[in-house]
Amino acid sequence: MVTPTGNKGVYIVGGRDVTLVGGDKTLVQPCFDSTRSSRKRSALFFVIWLDLSACGLPCALRLCISSTPFVSCEATDPPGESREEIQPEGPGSERPSSPPPLCTVRPQIHLVNPERRSSLRVLGVSGLPENSKSLKMSGGIISEESVSYDEENLMKPLSVKQEEIIKEETLDFQENQKEPEHSELSHGTVQKHDPYSDMLVHSDIINSVSCGSELPQTPPAHIGRKTFQCPESEKRLSTNVSLDIHRRVHIGEKPFACSECGKCFRTKFALNAHERFHTGEKPFACSECGKCFTTKGKLTEHERIHTGKKLFACSECVKCFTTKGKLTEHERIHTGEKPFACSECVKCFTTKGRLTEHERIHTGEKPFACSGCEKSFKTKGELTVHERIHTGVKPYACSECGKYFRTKSNLRKHERIHTQEKPLACSECEKCFREKGELTAHERIHTGEKPYACSECEKCFREKGKLTEHERIHTGEKPYACSECEKCFREKCKLTEHERIHTGEKPYACSECEKCFRTKGELTIHERLHTGEKPFACSECDKCCRTKVDLTLHERIHTGEKPFACSECEKCFRTKGNLTEHERIHTGQKPFACSECEKCFTTKRQLILHERIHTGQKPFACSECEKCFTTKHQLILHERIHTGEKPFACSECGKCFKTKGNLTKHERIHTGEKPFACSECGKCFKTKWKLILHVRIHTGEKPFACSECGKCFRIKGNLTKHERIHTGEKPFACSECGNCFTTKWKLILHVRIHTGEKPFACSDCAKCFREKGKLTEHERIHTGEKPFACSECGKCFGRKHTLTVHERIHTGEKPLVF
């Protein structure tokens, strides 16, 4: 053992044992001896790592020496202080044997803690001029002897092979340093690692190197410089070994294979980190939150979350990042570089990870399975977000409204609602969007691209989400259930809208009339009433519609498509809503009740129209005559009186009608169809309305009463005609003779006197009549039918009027004579 005369420095005594003296502490420990020998090598090399923390110094030393010279490493003396020479001590300190001839000594010092490093000087005694003296030691015994070497030999750079050996041992130490504190290395044992596990750049090596006092203090040329350049990428590295490892990136060499899954890696260190995935080992724990990690590097990155340290700044936008890798990825946004290309579709990506995720689209691989529902995902991140559905965790809160979200990205999107930020603009129409996905989907409107096709019906969609929702039509899946009424929905947004029915929430208000709506879509459609905008045009007739749904329904008029069929009677409808209303005829369901009179209706629209009877509201006014109507449809029909428009033509006779319903009724004259049958007498009618009027004959119902005389009528029209008797009103005038009539029908019959028109002909004798009723009475002559029977004597008559005259015989009534 060698004892220094002072304790202000650190002295290292070569051999198998090393004595460290620092401050008032002394430590004797074995050196980490990595001796390597080869027939092609002219010398042996020692790499010694010493941990000086036990001596009160916050650093470690790495010594690379050749053969077994005596090496002394000491801290620089403070100004005004000096150190005495080291003297051998103890009996038997001298030995006759001497070490083998020395090669050039190249001690190197690497400070593991560069931020708190001391200024150290390595003193090597071999290779001095002839008049110099050197200390030699074997087995801890020091002798003094003259040694003769050329100074050129001393300053000659290390050979490539020697440098590789030094580099390998440097990598071994770096891996040992990355082990957790409880590893074996901290207890003085030696752990060997593969030399290719990582690379150490010698830029941290700073201390002066000298061999004796006469040698220059300049470090060797290869230390601290990157002299090895990659011919492929022009990247520069500090050692030949680092260059060899880097070349594996270009040639694709991955010599280290995992024994569990066979995955290969370029370095031993990467393999070790990977194997921890199989073992579950996470030896690196955060001192702040206790979270564990598989590698020291990941722990370091994590700790920056607590410290807020972001060391890596972008030179373009000054944005900062916690890791160099994230900075590199970010810089590719500015450069547009996408170095990772898919071998299947040639799509390029900025990171290897995104390429890997993309390739799983082609392979169908979903390696991340949920333990709760066994659903699988392509990425770990997707699985993590999905698991929050089961746990209910929503860790991201909005600072404005306190709403919580499962993902950071959803929070950012939400915050743009408060800030009104829409940073993404369409290059075609300059419309702006809050999210990249919304912009991408919008751009497909311009390009017509629909990349997502249904495997069942081959229908294509612009968005993946729309395809997923569509596929639920085929599967019948409705995963979103209402907590109030348990009604299920295929889409989350539909559930949200439905829940507002229970809560009464209407968060979307019109800026013009302040009317509120449950959904943004309803508000948008409503606002088009104020603006008059109709952005959806029919390609067949150029008719414009306010909504896409209205356009789709309109187009079915041209195509004749009726995709919704009733399961009871197989009648088909253009819309789902119409089918739902129709099915209530079979079920008898009338879910909408009037709050005033409690009358029930099958549709919400019917209830709204009915309520206007109580309120007297007629919101739709004619621009020509200012007449008001309760429904928009009634106004449209009325306006056709002014315009003379009759858009619905009969294909048989060419007669035109103002409404589709009137055309349908007319066509039944040609077809003879009478689809509405009375359940009492079996009589059939062409229209639903005529059946209703007929049923009132059986029930005796006369719901319309005259306010003047109290007389009741079965239909509203008859009451209106009757009221004109009291008022004397005759609104229908003949243009020929000026004669006025109380009803439109009487005017039509009168006009036929001037025109001579008799459109109703008898099929038996060809006699013609002006009125349908007169023809019917005439036909009874041929058939002998006498449907009108006297209730007193049972006598029958062919005309209603004849029965009325006959009944006066029994009653004694005498008719009024004018």
500 closest CA partner among 517, 525, 481, 478: 517
CB 359 within 8 A of CB 369: no
- Of 29-43, 652-666, 682-696, the poorest mean pLDDT is in 29-43
* Segment 287-313, tens digit of pLDDT: 999 999 988 888 988 988 899 888 889
Q: Are strands 120-124 and 208-210 parallel, antiparallel or unpaired?
A: parallel
* Segment 53-67, tens digit of pLDDT: 444 444 444 444 333
* Segment 597-636, tens digit of pLDDT: 988 988 888 888 888 889 988 888 999 898 888 888 888 8
Q: Name the pTM for this structure.
A: 0.33
- Of 116-125, 264-273, 316-325, 531-540, the poorest mean pLDDT is in 116-125
CB 441 within 8 A of CB 463: yes
CA distance 347 to 531: 44
pLDDT higher than threshold 80 for residue 71: no
536 closest CA partner among 524, 137, 743: 524
Predicted pLDDT of residue 816 = 56
Predicted pLDDT of residue 264 = 93
User: What would the mean pLDDT of 775-791 be, rounded to a whole number?
Assistant: 90
Give the residue carrying structure tokens 């290869």.
Answer: 222
CB-side neighbour CA atoms (13 Å) of 174: 20
- Burial (Cβ within 10 Å: 0-12, 13-18, ≥19) of residue 110: buried
Selected residue with higher pLDDT from 221 and 518: 518
* Segment 421-473, tens digit of pLDDT: 888 899 989 889 888 888 888 998 999 899 999 998 989 998 888 898 899 99
CA distance 769 to 242: 112
pLDDT higher than threshold 80 for residue 800: yes
312: left (phi over 0), alpha (psi -120 to 50) or beta: beta
Share of the chain above pLDDT 70, in %: 72
pLDDT higher than threshold 70 for residue 208: no
Band of pLDDT at residue 224, cut at 50, 70 and 90 = low
279: left (phi over 0), alpha (psi -120 to 50) or beta: alpha
pLDDT higher than threshold 50 for residue 258: yes
User: What would the mean pLDDT of 81-95 be, rounded to a whole number?
Assistant: 40
CA distance 517 to 509: 6
Share of the chain above pLDDT 90, in %: 19
Beta bridge partners of 47: 64
CA distance 505 to 357: 41
pLDDT higher than threshold 80 for residue 807: yes
pLDDT higher than threshold 70 for residue 163: no
For 787, the token pair is: 């449907």
